[in-house]
Chain A
Amino acid sequence: MTDLTELERDILARIEAATDEAALESVRLFALGKKGVVSERLKSLGGMSPDERKTMGPQINGLRDAVQGAIAARKVTLEEAALAQRLSAERVDVTLPVRESAEQRGRIHPLSQVFDELVAIFADMGFSIADGPDVETDYYNFTALNFPEGHPAREMHDTFFLREDAQGLRKVLRTHTSPVQIRTMEAVKPPIRMIIPGRTYRHDSDQTHTPMFHQVEGLVIDEGATMANLKWVLEEFCKAFFEIDDVKMRFRPSFFPFTEPSAEVDIQCDRSGGEIRFGQGTDWLEILGCGMVHPNVLRNCGLDPDVYQGFAWGMGIDRIAMLKYGIPDLRDMFEADKRWIEHYGFRPLDLPTLAGGLSS
């Protein structure tokens, strides 16, 4: 009895003294190995009398269980200590910078962003998007749009001409997106609801004019579209685009050869604080030209102006982008200055949606 108690104390002390897994393993072998002291005792049970075995059996088995338990517990303790030690040794400086990811660095040009905003708004109103060529014939750019040959209205457009061909004909760089109105009406039967965003060119260069710029044209043709509808479309567009609840617009009669009646549209704003706020203030800012499609234009496209009618408008994409996002100089749009694009550009995943809001 005493012998076993002594033995248990000795083994447990050895277990406690083991400071690593190897030492613990040698204690295990000393006690529970094939020839271990506890194993020997267990073997001795076989030679005992039944009575003796009855007494000693539980004692020796109890000794074995205690040793096994102590070894397991010690093992856990040692493992925990080892892990703690490893963890304390394994340190990095998490303040070291990581590389900026590609999605963080990339930028969408404000013109593309505004283009996508236009599409989101007008697609919702049932408008599709039409494209046309930048190099146009005189017919599509002027004649079909009711600019008579030699008329001073042609001079309002500082036109870029290409070299004359063998027949003495010269093409032009389209001075507006309106030629696509004609191409559309020639190709599609009314009802028509289109916007035509695109690149346009005029021989002009200063702080507010660049020889290349972008316009978006709108065209609605059916059997009942009126200026009242035109006003509604433009008001709804301005509210949605500038992301304001209310907008005041002023329609001034004007002249465009391809519309009759024609109007220029100003939008009310406040420019007092160095930035423009729409829907308030006392300033008027011209943002677009519009009107009812001229009967001659409808006729040129084979449509009877007593049956079909509609309206069109055109505005500068660059201009509305500058107004909305406070971009000061048009010329910077085409400079491709890294600092400018990073500042005024948009992140690749900032896709404008009506559900989520156009911006932010």
Chain B
Amino acid sequence: MKFTLSWLKEHLETSASLDEIVETLTRIGLEVEGVEDKAKALAPYRIAAVLTAEQHPNADRLRVCTVDLGDGAAPTQVVCGAPNARAGMKSVFAPPGTYIPGKDITLGVGVIRGVESAGMLCSEAELELSEDHDGIIDLPQDAPLGAAYAAYAGLDDPVVEINLTPNRPDCTSVRGIARDLAATGLGALRHVPEPPVEGAFPLGTKVVRDLPEHLCPAFALRLVCGVRNGPSPAWMQRRLKAIGLRPINALVDITNYVTFDRGRPLHVFDAAKVKGDLVVRAARAGESIVALDGRTYALDESIVVIADENGPESIGGVMGGEHTGCDETTTDVLIESALWDPLDIARTGRKLGIVTDARYRFERGVDPNDTLPGLDLATKLVMELCGGTPSEHVLSGRIPDTSRIISFPWRETKRLSGLDVPQPEAKVILQELGFHLSGTGDAVKVLPPSWRPDIEGKADLVEEIVRIAGLDRVTARPLPRAGGVAKPVLTPIQKRTRAAKRLLASRGMLEAVTWSFIAKSEALLFGGGDPSLELANPIAADLSDMRPSLLPGLIRAAQRNADRGFPDVALFEVGQCFASDAPEGQTMRAAGVRRGTARAEGVGRHWDGGARVVDVFDVKADALALLGALGLPVGSLQIVAGGPDWLHPGRCGRIQLGPKAVFGHFGEVHPSIAKALDAKGPLVAFEIVLDALPLPKAKATKTKPALALSGFQPLTRDFAFVVDSGVEAAAIVRAAQGAEKALVTDVCVFDVYEGEHVEAGKKSVAIAVTLQPREKTLTDVEIEAISQKIVGEVAKKTGAMLRG
């Protein structure tokens, strides 16, 4: 919402400065977005007289002018390239040191082709007043020499723009803003007499409302005959231009003026072009209208139009039609002042993609009680500016009664705001804002004004009182705190989320935050792409589906880094993924990718060892470290070969506690998936579903179990087995562990070999078994017996032979 200072002062009697007004507006919730003060910007520009204009000795297109600045000093010499520069004219002069906005330069004293030039005669384009740069500004002879140009041209009216919140339709008008300011005591709202217009004759045009009552509760119409429609007066044009509107002609400008002055949108029809009566009705399928913006809109039954015998002539409350628009030939004008349903206007505007000042106001809520006064004001302006004789008005429907009473205990202000506004002050604030109060004592009955549809209840009244009194008067008061030490507040998943991030970062990975939405093609590759998780209005085609996994985003991110010249990256993300659009379908996951040589032990080439590329065991280690840090029994976890389709089938694994308790997977990214994501390897990844992890059991005490140390030294025996290549190392380890559960405390695989010293199709697996005697030192015979048991058990479970 924009207005000018002089416009405001037509409604507000005040001696306050612009700065005070601006500061007050922001303080009471009418946030000032910007102030444009042309007078300030154009202060150095003065009206000057051109005394002589001679041909420049060295340039065909330049003239050397002497200019009288009206300051009593000797004339100033200026070189000017404008074709219209001539002796005797009055124009606008900028002295050296002036900033020229249209050229973005600051003038200096210059020598142009050998002739000194001490200033500049300016075009409108140079002052950014218009696009006109054909010549310097040509002022009438009576323009006062030496005066400030901005003041002379009426540009000294600062324009204020307010960032209006949608709850304040009353402040879509200059008068509404003035009323709010007056309530603060900054000035007084001027009384504007509004005597009704006396109609000279009955209106012949009938108005029929053929639609559900709520869509158009009231429709007022008046004819003014014998008008002369030309340009509106300069003062009106200046104000409209200042707020960014283009003056059209007096009749149209009047509707725009009243729209901004009173927040009352109007429409004018050229009566000569209207055929028959006006019917307010739903448009019919197949109908269309060429609107005032020159565009054709296809209409349907959901859109309310004002039609005559020729069909739709106006889109109700949104935009008029071109066919019945007013132009210079208009002699009889029909003025419409109607009420529309805010929701319906908003819907129609959205549907047709039309944003107008009328829609802006109607969808927020126009003061119903201003329907007829608004019509009268417009009529009066038409008679003043265009002459003519008014008819009586017709009102189809009735002005709805929106009055409601709010029972308001004065203490409510303090209850909610903590600020004790003295009752007399609160009362004045409400009254100044147009509220009617009745009753005395602790509670009053409050009748909100018809222009405040946003006021529903007590809390709204508290806001009115506090915002005008000043939110800065509310002083901070401590929120009572619970006694003692603060209690822990994080839930298990919150703790795990945060621990997961710290753990993964401590493994040398960088935390990424990637988009929650990914391309449909990628969602499909990672098990997603369900229609229920597809955005109807994605911001870009490749951000269309809610991600089923963190990996596509991470793989792409890793590749972006590689493309920038950083091929060795380890990235992780802990974030939400989506399996359905239900709350339960959202899971918190932790995932990571390692690319190139970005291993936890070190990255890149090093004198102490080569640049080993990442492999499946790097991410297996990440995943297990993560699960361990989150309190899972890593020793009991099962690692099962295989995994989802996006991992290399022979180089991936699942981590689980059982087939029904799968926590995640790790592996090499499937080459065809990498290709589909434009990514190159080596690329390994893991993903753990944090929500799938069992919660630690609540314990009655924090005491750790007693430490049972054996007094005897542990001993280690090595075994090398030859087994079929397909046998899993875990099976050998499990068999060895199970052979003598009471004594075997650790089984470590320390060598795996396949090659020329082992039969084809077989491999050698060497394990070191640690035995921990509990009660006595083991004798050689006992150790030998245990060893035999281990060999036997491994052979039985895996078909292994002890390597000879």
Chain A residues with a Cβ under 8 A of chain B: 96-109, 111-112, 115-116, 119, 123-129, 131-135, 148-153, 155-156, 160-165, 170-171, 173, 199, 201, 203-205, 211-212, 220, 225-229, 231-233, 235, 250-255, 260-264, 292, 294-296, 305, 309, 333-339, 341-342, 345, 347-349, 351
Contact = CB atoms under 8 A, between A and B. Distances in A.
B571 interface: yes
Contacts of B29: 252-255
A296 B564 CA distance: 53
Interface in B502-518: 502-517
Contacts of A170: 536
B606 interface: yes
B343 A163 contact: no
Interface stretch (B392-400, B410-418, B739-747): B410-418
B165 A254 contact: yes
Nearest to B478: A232
A205 B414 CA distance: 41
A173 B488 CA distance: 31
B472 A134 contact: no
B733 interface: no
Interface string B415-433: 1111100000000000000
Interface stretch (B268-276, B461-469, B705-713): B461-469
B613 interface: no
- With a 10 A CB-CB cut-off, give which of A99, A107, A132 has the most chain B CB atoms: A99
Given A108-B511, A126-B487, A227-B471, 17 more contacts: A98-B608, A100-B602, A112-B574, A126-B486, A128-B489, A132-B583, A203-B537, A228-B417, A228-B476, A231-B475, A233-B479, A252-B26, A252-B29, A292-B462, A296-B456, A335-B557, A347-B505
B458 interface: yes
B417 A227 contact: yes
Contacts of A123: 486, 488-490
B166 A152 contact: yes
Nearest to B346: A150
Contacts of A125: 479, 481, 486
Contacts of B460: 260
B513 A109 contact: yes
B474 A251 contact: yes
A338 B566 contact: yes
A190 B419 CA distance: 23
Contacts of A134: 516, 546, 576, 578, 586
Nearest to A133: B583
A27 B316 CA distance: 125
Interface string B186-228: 0000000000000000000000000000000000000000000
Given A134-B586, A231-B476, A261 B539 contact: no
Contacts of A105: 508, 510, 570, 603
B504 A106 contact: yes
Contacts of B235: none
Interface of B: 26-29, 31, 165-168, 342-343, 346-347, 350, 363-364, 414-419, 456-460, 462-463, 466-467, 471-472, 474-479, 481-482, 486-491, 493-494, 498, 501-517, 531-539, 543, 546, 553-554, 557, 560-561, 564, 566, 569-571, 574-576, 578, 581-583, 585-586, 600-603, 606-608
Nearest to B507: A102
A151 B475 contact: no
Given A107-B505, A163-B531, A342-B510, A225 B479 contact: yes
B571 A336 contact: yes
Contact of B512 (A124, A153, A255, A341): A341
Nearest to B409: A306
A149 B344 CA distance: 11
Contact of B535 (A126, A127, A161, A337): A161
Contacts of B488: 123
Contacts of B512: 109, 336, 341
A108 B502 contact: yes
Most buried by B among A132, A133, A337, A338: A338
A204 B540 CA distance: 11
Given A203-B539, A337-B564, A153 B576 contact: no
Contacts of B165: 254-255
A204 to B, nearest CB: 8
A151 B415 contact: no
A228 B493 CA distance: 34
30 contacts: A99-B602, A103-B506, A105-B570, A106-B509, A108-B511, A109-B501, A109-B512, A115-B498, A131-B494, A135-B581, A135-B582, A135-B585, A150-B342, A151-B346, A152-B166, A160-B538, A162-B533, A163-B535, A212-B517, A227-B419, A228-B417, A228-B476, A229-B479, A231-B477, A250-B472, A263-B471, A305-B459, A336-B513, A337-B561, A345-B511
Those 8 A-B pairs whose CB atoms lie nearest each other, nearest first: A228-B418, A253-B29, A226-B418, A255-B165, A102-B508, A261-B463, A336-B557, A106-B505
Nearest to B414: A226
Contacts of A104: 508
A229 B477 contact: yes
A333 B27 CA distance: 34
A24 B370 CA distance: 124
Contact of B364 (A149, A152, A165): A152
Contact of A153 (B166, B456, B502, B557): B166
Contact of A171 (B511, B537, B581): B581
A81 B248 CA distance: 109
A205 B539 contact: yes
Nearest to A339: B566
Contacts of B417: 226-228, 261, 292
A261 B415 contact: no
B223 to A, nearest CB: 34
A261 B459 contact: yes
Nearest to A116: B498
B507 A106 contact: yes
A120 to B, nearest CB: 10
Contact of A345 (B471, B479, B490, B510): B510
Contacts of B566: 338-339
Contacts of B489: 119, 123, 127-129
Nearest to B588: A131
Nearest to A296: B456
Nearest to A235: B476
A129 B29 CA distance: 31
Nearest to A195: B489
B511 A253 contact: no
A348 B557 CA distance: 21
Contacts of B347: 150
A211 B346 CA distance: 24
B167 to A, nearest CB: 5
Contacts of A156: 166
A134 B167 CA distance: 27
B537 A108 contact: no
Contacts of B506: 102-103, 106, 348-349
A134 B498 CA distance: 19
Contact of A163 (B418, B510, B532, B608): B532
B418 A152 contact: no
Contacts of A250: 472
A334 B346 contact: no
B416 A255 contact: no
Contacts of B466: 227, 253, 261
A305 B100 CA distance: 59
A292 B564 CA distance: 49
Contacts of B458: 295
Contacts of A97: 606-607
Contacts of B570: 105
Contact of B532 (A162, A336, A337): A162
Contact of A348 (B472, B487, B502, B515): B502
Q: Which residue, of A108, A309, A345, has the highest number of chain B Cβ atoms within 10 A?
A: A108
A251 B473 CA distance: 10
A253 to B, nearest CB: 3
A100 B508 CA distance: 9
